[in-house]
Structure 1
């Protein structure tokens, strides 16, 4: 049975049982605890936690998942994988244990002709939590299995919670017996190599406290509504129903291995070492395509780092198989063809996906050869020194300079029979991150226990947002927090968080900055500086009590600053127009990767695997956007279904989670996007859009910054004044300025070259006098002086070589020092004649004799060496040490 048919049967089975089919969520959800979605229940967490009411009593989904802790084990076994699909059915206070067991058992054991999977019941083994007598009895009743075929296991195996206080419960797992050749009999408790878990049924009935029942601690209570959360491994069921030995041989994975076989000329199954590489390619190719499809681009932090690591492991595995040229796009194409029947967006968005992959592969291939040479040199140095540990400094250099993930260096070191000094590497990485954090803007975070917000939500319901229609409304304070805790009142000067039953204030979201304004009661005013939504459905107004005493339950008037809202709305609408302009100029590969909509200005990030946007293209985008402003198009906003929005061609942002009903911002045939932000009514209200800059902010990601409205006009006026001033000073018309400035620059460069030549001639003219002043040290001529002012770099080397030449055939050493007192630095060069080298005086070996005196170091060849230091006051001492070394 093909995998897509397994998925179809699962969905049909539960849809026929009254479940609402829910599309897979993006792998990227706004969950600080998760790098990627790793289970089917993740998108339903708000319903299980009670943050928001579930829109349906029961649901089913096929969720794409990525788990990354075991990346290093992928390929080494056939059990580990980073990407997989989890089929699940969910009940939100509807059916419970009986329903979950009946539905799972019937799908597993019903015949293929009846829509089931046709598993032999004699090969299925259920497990239950050790004290769950109810589930044990239900398994017996529903399946007719004897008691010895239903095994009890402790909380480590058969209890589920989220690792934090909240919902949890016992679970039942369904195992399939692979047969005697996989190990001893006796059920899952005897051998999990022979008995393969295919489905986990979680009976969510408990509320756990700080200590988990998984570790034997009792729950602190029961949930008011009992829920069901199940997960069936699609790939595991596929390899069982397809009669193959593991997931790598199933219909959606084996084609990637076949492509690698074709490119490499090798065959899967001929040797375990190569088989590991084939499996790495197959698994990582699937994960990478799915991750890029959901909007991630390669980078050096977080999700971007994981993606980069996956892609580079593919490239290196392919090289070890003998593939020398680019290969990622070929593997991605195979993944697209295999997976797009379930995930059609992979086909429609493949131009962007492949562009991201090509850019990363080109970058890595360009540095891989150089990095491998550095690595091999480090390995040789380590072995020559009799060591078995690669220095952490070298590992950090490979990471920082050549883009080698530490995991790649560890793999290469292991292959070379070496370990890596991880401690030193980690120290250097932490130092780098600390520097980066010091430069980064402070992120807005809340320090309030989220349960406080959820309590308000449970009691008073979601905040009614009125901001699309009005900037002022009457409201009631339903929650008041001071210093992170609930409070009945707050006085003048207190920092507070105010929760209202309704509000016109827009909470920061989707790149749009929050509204500011006031909340006014009968005898108090709260200045609102920020609005956030820490729990779905709530809007929290953060600010300061400007005067009076604010109290819980007070009736108030909430008023948004209209000028700020209007300026932000203009910027947000302009962002949509710039997005449309960029896609029109660069193609669909230019997808939004972030934005900022602030009063009068915007920042728009987008993927651009081809590199910088040409200035001419930016000019065209700006002109096109302003033509839309001039046409004064109506900006319509309306709600519709997700299916209808897709039919209309509305743009959807990667990583965003949309419900069944979505809000569309429509500017006719030019721009149509899903968006929850605020916008102007007509494009003409924007006035003017001026693009200020375009630059790279990471691998394959570019950023456009622009001004809108009055800010754009003011910028244009300033530029006009500057152009007029330049025209007056250069006695030229504005259109002549580029040529006139270019002429001035060329004249300046010519003058600098002439000056440099004269200076070099003056420096070289001093060589003769320096040679003549050489002192005699027991038959060796020594010239050791501070060079004339202005001599640095190449001039210092040239002068040392010239002085050496004028010493003739006698043993001679030239040591010249250049001092930069203002910077507190000193540079030095040592040159030796052939006769001196015959006497054992090598330039590279002389430097260590005196470098410490100037706080420096250096090195080089026997005839010429150089270095630098940080203590110019030590030059005289250095010269004395050099004399001593020569005499010695």
Structure 2
């Protein structure tokens, strides 16, 4: 058996299947495309579901990949066991209706025994109970000892998820120390004890399970195999667990170095070391695929992993932020297979460092909140913290459950675990309901996604606005029809209409013939890339096979082109002004505006915005020729063209160049010359997520319209202020000074009114059970003045309670204060104010010695204040 490194095994596998005429595809992004059923890619076949269902045509019928995967279902076990991980790589070879069992079984045996050179007496195979075909192939087309083949039931060797494609499987296992097993019972027992481990699963998708539970044979069966790269690496390197595999060990050693600890068997630090080692891989790959920390979806998964790793760093005694430093080891070990890690190295490290610094602040504020909860528990004489409070700390403030438990245990307290689990379950249900319902293969089961693969629409609209075509498909109310009279979807054999893609909206225009006229109000592609024209019928009826004229709205298209080319120029300028860390995170281009999301870690200053605008306008005026060249993706990279290189591109790509200024991969439509853009103006800059900024801008005539609107506002202001536009700022500043002076006078007058009210309130102090009670209703006194007045009255009465209310411009305010010496007698201002405010349609609360509240019913103010006496009477012991 060869001793092979993880990267060596990956390459050997992919090379082997390339020799079997498979197309090697790069790993798909961890972010699923057109698949609402998944948060993150969690299996090798997951990104290729559409190929298996026939919704999309695969680039080749034989494919091999090594797919990045994230699974967090067992996150609590990561670090505690030797085999659980959140990030892993899945090796796979796939057949989309090409070869089947006769080919894949001998190939699998050839790879493991001849390429990997695993001893045959260390291998076992399992097949589905009734799969005689697989048994015959294993025994006749390989030299495996038949006694090493075991038949297992549906639970172990049959793959299905509800209705749809399914089939038996055959798993290949490695003997880690069980010795020769003779019976199925012995095999299962050894597998349960991890003495025999499965490392490659060959799935034979040969049936379609219908709604009645019948298994119907597929005309074109598929092959889907999966071999965990880390798991096979443990076998090849003869180590006990995935954390001892060469690439993982390299990261683990760096964790130990930073923490100044040793990785020793049965050591208490092991769990923390393993958690950090695993999680840093997940973080690095997730961020490289465009995921950023947030409070929902996949961003929440990333944030959870990062904070969990940071928390375990603290347990190891690491006081400073450190996770971003570990990225170097991840990138060093994996950049050969995933070059995007190296390309985005600075950006990945910045995101991790920023989030870890925020978490360090969160930890401190979380501890303060937890201390206040502990104080409340002690006051009530309890020893259990409510589960909803623990969940709030965890979910809202990102405070780890384990840390809450640890701090409580130091105080001789514990967590209401059932209550916490209830809240966690509610959150899972919210997350589940937020995910759209789809079938298990992830695509909406609608007519647009059932269009025959034989239907193709040729797009010929880069330099054409009008073409004649033939109607090939008509859809109305999600059904295929022969004609449309009102509204529906039309597919033709050729079109000049650009379908929404790459951030650019679809074209608008007309479709017509002598008997029919319709408005195309949108143009999109379905999951398999079919061009769909969304049409409202203006007159007549359109039928299948009709010849039609398709005419794009030329002015609308040209405005889109201006905004799209300007977006390319904007990205180039942003990198010049802000730095090379700027990468496109998203974009939107229509006829009216452009929107560009990009990676950056602070808001742009006025100076930066001005510099960006001036630079773009300067380049626009140079009237660059905008040209498009077709080339391979590798040729495009060599030219320095910018692209979202984790995206999947066809063999030939379009490279759009704006002179020598900008060069990008792009399938969209553009101007012929940068001078056609005219002008460029940023209308807003904002943050949309941590580390993501958004610029919205306009071009051409829209800039003039924008400036005219601004000019009108200035003219209207000058008319109101009765000054010229150049004097507006000066006039406003002088009026602000005047207003501040008037406010001071008003405050002084209110103070005098409150002062005279103070004397009246003190004259009318009453006693309730030996406690002085001062109440009063005031007018036009704000919350601050009301609180100051209550404080003054409290100091005068020496032993008692003050309850005041005010109607300040229709807004009701309450305040209650008590001297320290009456609190022991039962006085609690929070309880008083809560009941008082309730009468006036409000609510509030506070401490025993001071509380505030608001109300909505000024007409109930006097009644509410008068109720104070009854409330105090009930409270006093």
Equivalent residue for 2:793?
A: 803
- Once the two structures are superposed, residues 146-173 of structure 1 have per-residue CA deviations (whole angstroms, 9 ceiling, x without a partner) of 32311122233223356552x4332211
Residue 122, structure 1, aligned to residue 121, structure 2: yes
Once residues 767 and 162 of structure 2 are traced to their aligned partners in structure 1, the CA distance between those partners, rounded to angstroms, is 79
Whether the 8 Å CA contact 1:175–1:199 is kept in 2: the answer is yes
* Range 151-160 or range 307-316, more displaced: 151-160
Matched residues in 2 for 1:245 and 1:255: separation?
A: 16
2:694 to 697, 703, 706: 703
Mapping of 1:804-843 within 5 angstroms? 804-807=794-797, 809=798, 811-819=799-807, 822-823=810-811, 826-833=812-819, 841=827, 843=829
The equivalent position to 2:21 in structure 1, one of 18, 22, 29, is: 18
Mind listing any 5+ residue stretches in structure 1 that lack a counterpart?
A: 111-115, 212-216, 438-446
Q: Could you tell me which residue of structure 1 aligns to residue 647 of structure 2? A: 656
Q: Within 2, Cα distance between the matches of 1:571 and 1:164?
A: 46
Query: In 2, are the aligned partners of 1:47 and 1:92 still within 8 Å (CA)?
Result: yes
2:638 is aligned, of 634, 641, 647, to 647
1:442 alignment partner in structure 2: none
Distance in 1 (CA, whole Å) between partners of 2:229 and 2:434 is 41
Note if 1:882 corresponds to 2:868: yes
Shift of 1:589: 2.1
Equivalent of residue 177 in structure 1, options 175, 178, 197 = 175
Contact 1:780 1:812 in 2 (8 A): yes
1:502 aligns with 2:494: yes
Shift of 1:667: 1.3
Going from structure 1 to structure 2, the CA distance change for 1:817 and 1:451 (only over 3 Å counts) comes to: closer
2:131 alignment partner in structure 1: 132
Question: Which of 464, 476, 484 is 2:458 aligned to?
Answer: 464
Counterpart residue number, 2:581: 589
Q: CA deviation at 1:190?
A: 5.0
CA distance in 1, matches of 2:845, 2:277: 48
Q: Deviations over 1:823-858 (max 9, x none)?
A: 5xx332223356756866564565466454445555
Aligned 8 A contact 2:617 2:679 in 1: yes
CA contact 1:605–1:702 (8 Å) conserved in 2? yes
Give 1:796 deviation, angstroms: 1.0
State the Cα distance separating 1:751 from its structure 2 match: 4.5
Q: Which residue of 1 aligns with 2:479?
A: 485
Q: Which moved more, 1:125-134 or 1:403-412?
A: 403-412
Aligned-pair CA distance for 1:389: 6.3
- Corresponding residue SS for 1:640: strand
2:363 corresponds to 1:368:
yes
Residue 209 of structure 1 corresponds to: 210
The alpha-carbon distance between structure 1 residues 411 and 488, as it changes in their structure 2 partners (threshold 3 A), is farther
Query: 1: distance between equivalents of 2:129 and 2:521?
Result: 53
**2: distance between equivalents of 1:338 and 1:618?**
39
The normalised TM-score by structure 1 is: 0.89
**Equivalent pair of 1:477/1:554 in contact (CA under 8 Å):** yes
Quick check: 1:352–1:588 contact (8 Å CA) kept in 2? no
Provide the C-alpha distance between the structure 2 equivalents of 1:277 and 1:449, rounded to a whole number of angstroms. 42
CA apart distance, 1:413: 8.9
Is the 2:823–2:848 contact (alpha carbons within 8 Å) kept by the matching residues of 1? Answer: yes
Of 249, 254, 260, the match for 1:254: 249
User: Per the alignment, in what secondary structure is the counterpart of residue 451 of structure 2?
Assistant: helix
Shift in Å at residue 753 of structure 1?
A: 4.2
Distance change >3 Å, CA 741–CA 882, structure 1 → 2: closer
Structure 1 equivalent of residue 94 of structure 2: 90
* Cα distance change, pair 497–885 in 1 and its aligned pair in 2 (3 A): closer
Query: Aligned partners of 2:53, 2:552: CA distance in 1, in Å?
Result: 32
Q: CA deviation at 1:804?
A: 2.6
Cα distance in structure 2, aligned partners of 1:423 and 1:39: 28
How far, CA to CA, are the matches of 2:252 and 2:595 in structure 1?
A: 42
Query: CA distance change for structure 1 residues 429 and 117 in 2, over 3 Å: closer, same or farther?
Result: closer
Distance 2:755 2:740 in 1: 22
- Length-normalised TM-score, structure 2: 0.90
Residue deviations 1:727-773 (CA, integer Å, cap 9, x gap): 67778876675566455545544543454344335433532333234
Deviation at 1:692, TM superposition (A): 0.7
Closer, same or farther: CA 799–436 of 1 in aligned 2, 3 Å: farther
Q: Which deviates further from its counterpart, 322-331 or 48-57?
A: 48-57
Are 1:263 and 2:258 an aligned pair?
Answer: yes
Q: How do residues 288-303 of structure 1 correspond to structure 2 at under 5 angstroms?
A: 288-303=283-298
Matches within 5 A, 1:358-397: 358-375=353-370, 377-378=372-373, 381=376, 386=382, 388=384, 390-392=386-388, 395-396=391-392
Going from structure 1 to structure 2, the CA distance change for 1:251 and 1:385 (only over 3 Å counts) comes to farther
The correspondence for 1:561, drawn from 528, 543, 553, is 553
2:568 maps to 576
| Residue 160 (structure 1) aligns with | 159
Structure 2 residue runs of 5 or longer lacking an equivalent are 436-441
> CA separation in 1, counterparts of 2:548 and 2:443?
24
Number of aligned residue pairs: give it: 857
1:346-366: CA deviation from partner (whole Å, max 9, x where unpaired): 112111111111221122221
CA distance in 1 between counterparts of 2:862 and 2:94 reads: 81
Pick closer, same or farther for the CA change 1:270–1:89 going to 2, 3 Å. Answer: closer
Report the CA distance between 1:448 and its aligned residue.
11
Please, which of 514, 530, 549 is the counterpart of residue 541 of structure 2?
549
- What aligned pairs does 1:314-713 form with structure 2 within 5 A after superposition? 314-375=309-370, 377-378=372-373, 381=376, 386=382, 388=384, 390-392=386-388, 395-396=391-392, 398-400=394-396, 402-404=397-399, 416-419=414-417, 421=419, 425=423, 450=445, 452-453=447-448, 456-458=451-453, 460-491=454-485, 494-608=486-600, 610-653=601-644, 656-713=647-704
Q: How many Å separate the matches in 2 of 1:780 and 1:390?
A: 36
Provide the rounded CA distance (Å) in 2 between the counterparts of 1:864 and 1:6: 70
Distance 1:804 1:181, change over 3 A: farther
Q: 1:29·1:656 contact (CA, 8 Å) conserved in 2?
A: no
Question: Secondary structure, in 3 states, of the residue corresponding to 2:171?
Answer: strand
- Cα-to-partner distance string for 1:489-508 (whole Å, 9 max, x where unaligned): 222xx221112122122222
Separation of aligned partners in 1, 2:156 and 2:197: 14
Cα distance in 2 for residues equivalent to 1:138 and 1:840: 86
Sort the Cα spacing of 1:126 and 1:796 in 2 relative to 1 into closer, same or farther, 3 A. Answer: same
Matched, 1:311 2:306: yes
Residue 176 of structure 1 deviates from its aligned partner by: 0.7
The alpha carbon displacement at 1:816 in A equals 0.6
The 8 Å contact of residues 682 and 697 in structure 2, kept in 1 or not, is answered as yes
From 847, 851, 865, the counterpart of 2:851: 865
Report whether the alignment pairs 1:6 with 2:9: yes
**Structure 1 stretch displaced more, 249-258 or 176-185:** 176-185
SS in 2 for 1:421: helix
Report SS of the residue matched to 1:206. Answer: strand
Question: In structure 1, what is the Cα distance between the partners aligned to 2:16 and 2:459?
Answer: 39
Deviation at 1:398, TM superposition (A): 4.9
C-alpha distance in 2 between matches for 1:435 and 1:873: 45
User: Counterpart of 1:252 in 2: which secondary structure?
Assistant: helix
